[in-house]
A = this chain, B = another copy of it.
């Protein structure tokens, strides 16, 4: 089923079919009508591959997620898919499984498919840079949430400002002995937050670094309270850590947010169901963000 079929049924040229069906102008009302009814009758739908080849544009965006199982993923994907579907853009998905080599592969595969743009949540602050810079030569690349290259675009929060805002908020509440529980410092987001914390917090040396996991959030909480008994707030680097910390505190009999507050910076307000699970009783702050 091609433009030719529609053209012959409608008694016009393939050019006219294309003009009508791709919404280009300069088409007579008569031809327009004939083409449309022929297309409907045949159940014709344009072949996006042929169109892409000719137009040199696939109307498709590639998305490389550092780790699909990260809780951050569904809300991000949903927001993107919504926006893209609205624009008629396709979304080609790839997972880097937190591995730089797989990330490189995934990017290559998406580029081979001629995506019009590439969105990526970089796996590693340092090691993802080359992959991103190279991809950026071939198409538009946008880094999401965390940043590995200064050349490609970046959409995420101003971590330094956000940390400052949260610390100010804590101070207003009289909480002046926070501990920072970091996750994987390879991720720029965590790293930047940690640096800002060290620079700005009254207790800037109280920093624990581990990995991006719920368990580490729990372990770190125990360690924090042992090492610094006067702790009155846990500043968590991200979602999973905060969940772990909150759970640990609850299982120790604390009634959040007292006497120890749990704060974190979340890049998305995202999925309400997940959020509700994550933060029952947790202190929530909405910091200022940068474009």
The interface bits of chain A over 38-51 (1 if a CB of B lies within 8 angstroms of the residue's CB, else 0) are 00000001111110
Q: 23 A–B contact pairs at CB < 8 A?
A: A45-B112, A48-B113, A48-B114, A49-B113, A49-B114, A60-B113, A68-B81, A69-B74, A69-B271, A69-B274, A71-B274, A73-B74, A77-B95, A81-B95, A85-B94, A85-B95, A85-B109, A88-B109, A91-B93, A92-B92, A93-B93, A214-B276, A243-B277
List 9 additional contacts besides A49-B49, A49-B53, A88-B109; criterion CB under 8 Å: A47-B112, A49-B52, A50-B53, A81-B93, A85-B102, A85-B106, A90-B109, A90-B113, A243-B277
**How many subunits of this chain does the assembly comprise?**
2
Whether the pair A78, B68 counts as a contact (CB closer than 8 A) is yes
3 nearest interchain CB pairs? A48-B113, A68-B78, A81-B95
Distance in angstroms between the alpha carbons of A68 and B85 in the assembled complex = 14
**Closest Cβ neighbor of A134 among chain B residues:** B43
Smallest Cβ distance from A253 to chain B, in angstroms? 14
Residues of B close to A69: CB separation below 8 A: 74-75, 78, 271, 273-274
* Residue A183 is within 8 A (CB to CB) of chain B in the complex: no
Complex alpha-carbon distance, A47 and B112, angstroms:
5
Q: Which residues of B contact A277 (CB under 8 A)?
A: 214, 243, 277
Residues of B within 8 A of A49 (CB): 49, 52-53, 58, 113-114
Give me the interface of A with B, judged by CB distance under 8 Å.
45-50, 52-53, 58, 60, 68-69, 71, 73-75, 77-78, 81-82, 85, 88, 90-95, 97, 102, 105-106, 108-114, 213-214, 240, 243, 271, 273-274, 276-277
Smallest CB gap from A75: residue in B: B69
- Hey, which chain B residues are within 8 Å of A102, CB to CB? 85
B273 x A213 contact (CB < 8 A) = yes
Q: In the bound complex, do residue A77 and residue B81 qualify as a contact, i.e. CB atoms below 8 Å apart?
A: no
Task: Determine if A112 and B46 form an interchain contact, defined as CB atoms under 8 angstroms apart.
Answer: yes
A139 to B114, CA, bound (A): 23
Say which residue of B82, B91, B105, B276 sits within 8 Å of A92 (CB atoms): B91
- With known contacts A49-B52, A78-B69, A112-B48, A90–B90 Cβ distance under 8 A: no
